[in-house]
Amino acid sequence: MGRALREVVYVDGARTPFGRAGPKGVFWRTRADDMAVKVVREVLRRNPQLPPERIGDVALAATAQVGDQGLTLGRDVALLAGLPQTVPGYAVDRMCAGALTAVTTVAGEIALGACDVALAGGVEHMGHHPMGDDVDFNPRFVAERLIDESAATMGATAENLHDRFPHLTREDADRYAVRSQQKAASAWENGIMRETIVPMSVFTDDGWRIAERDEFLRPDTTMEGLATLKTPFRAGGRVTAGNSAGLTDGATACILASEEAAAELGLEARMRLVSFAYAGVEPEVMGIGPIPATEKALAQAGLTLDDIGLIELNEPFAVQVLTWCDGLGVASEDERLNSYGGAIACGHPLAATGVRLLAQLAYGFRERPDVRYGLTGLCIGLGMGAAVVWENLHAE
């Protein structure tokens, strides 16, 4: 017997500051799962009207599901955060789209009536678990030419994008990176980031301190300074540390609910999930993945990019954003795009990033009641892309 699907709404989301991966980073002596516990507790603290026992599932993502971000991460963190033992949880892995996949997966549970409320998010401690560490790539990938060898190195795939789109120059990428840093600096100055970030007490070599600010912020970035940086992925290349996101530690979490449950519990529904899509592309140019994903998500919603008033697109590399803009006919200076800066300025803790995008879009929706629809999207390792269309429930 058929049944009607329920509308799914985004209620609230939070993240830790994003720290520099490695011994010099603020989270070096902090466990990954404790970072996730912090943001789960924060979204519950902000929404005290939500009884913890009403949470029907907890989905948390990590790309490296080992060590302190191993086990069944959602269940692990739910128990550590003090949720009732009756609340189940699970782990998700879709690399950079981990948190976004956690969101769309629990959205399916809610839409089908399996639960009313769920938590979704992600964590990545790239200092404890460097990208590709403990991964045994099947030799058939290269031996049988299933993928190009460069697909295993994200920076190399960014250089491949420059090859594929030669009109997108290093200067274009550097110029975009400067704007990202400037927009992020403005967002911090105006208090925008402090609404989405929860400070966290951490132990460091210098004793206890408060982690409260992203460590990759460089508001004084200039074109002249970026021009001096080396190209580590290729001699004479175009991808540098300045026009890429740094290796980062961080965690995110958000609350999703059915429209009915949000109203019943007095939770503020900020965004409605309209459509979402994932797409596969050539692994060695994984950065183009958000292009077909965006096209699929918009087609499902019956919308065009002209209907989209705000866009939060991940920035693992400036050229990836420029490629998306080029493929979809959007100017890289479009005011709709990454209004508060992006990963080039704040960092990209892989599986955690998706919910950062949602939290910033929700903030933008509140500030822009004239905007009805927004989009979140990112590229994914091994040749994929993701896009989600949201409706502003503050729209006038």
Mean pLDDT by 10 residues, the chain (396 residues): 88 98 97 98 98 98 95 97 98 97 98 97 96 85 85 92 96 98 96 92 94 96 97 95 97 98 98 98 96 98 98 98 98 97 97 98 97 98 97 94
pLDDT the model gives residue 237:
95
- Give the CA dihedral 132, 198, 187, 277, nearest 10 degrees: 50
What is the count of structural domains for the chain? 1
Answer for the pair 257, 117: CB distance below 8 angstroms, yes or no: yes
Question: In the annotation, is 128 catalytic?
Answer: no
Q: Is 366 exposed, middle or buried (0-12, 13-18, 19+ CB in 10 A)?
A: middle
Active-site residue identified among 115, 167, 348, 394: 348
Annotate 240-264 with b (16+ C-beta within 10 A) or e (fewer).
bbbbbbbbbbbbbbbbbbbeebbee
Count the alpha carbons within 13 Å of 50 in the hemisphere toward its beta carbon. Answer: 30
Strands (E), 200-284: 200-204, 207-211, 248-258, 271-280
31 inside domain? no
- Choose, from 254, 325, 346, 379, the residue flagged as catalytic: 379
For this structure, is 96 an active site residue? yes
The H or E element that residue 33 is part of is helix 32-46
Question: Which CATH number fits the domain that encloses residue 300?
Answer: 3.40.47.10
Q: Is residue 316 part of a domain?
A: yes
**C-alpha–C-alpha distance, residues 357 and 380, integer Å:** 15
Domain that holds residue 152: 144-191+274-391
Is residue 164 domain-resident?
yes
Task: Let me know the angle formed at the C-alpha of 93 by 87 and 94, rounded to the nearest 5 degrees.
Answer: 130
Q: Answer yes or no: 325 catalytic.
A: no
Residue 18 lies in a domain: no
- Say if 50 falls within a structural domain: no
In a domain, 378, yes or no: yes
Q: Which of 96, 115, 254, 325 is catalytic?
A: 96
pTM over 0.95: yes
Q: Is 122 contained in some domain? A: no
Does residue 349 lie within any of the structural domains? Answer: yes
Cβ proximity of 209 and 202 under 8 Å: yes
Helix H or strand E encompassing 344:
helix 343-346
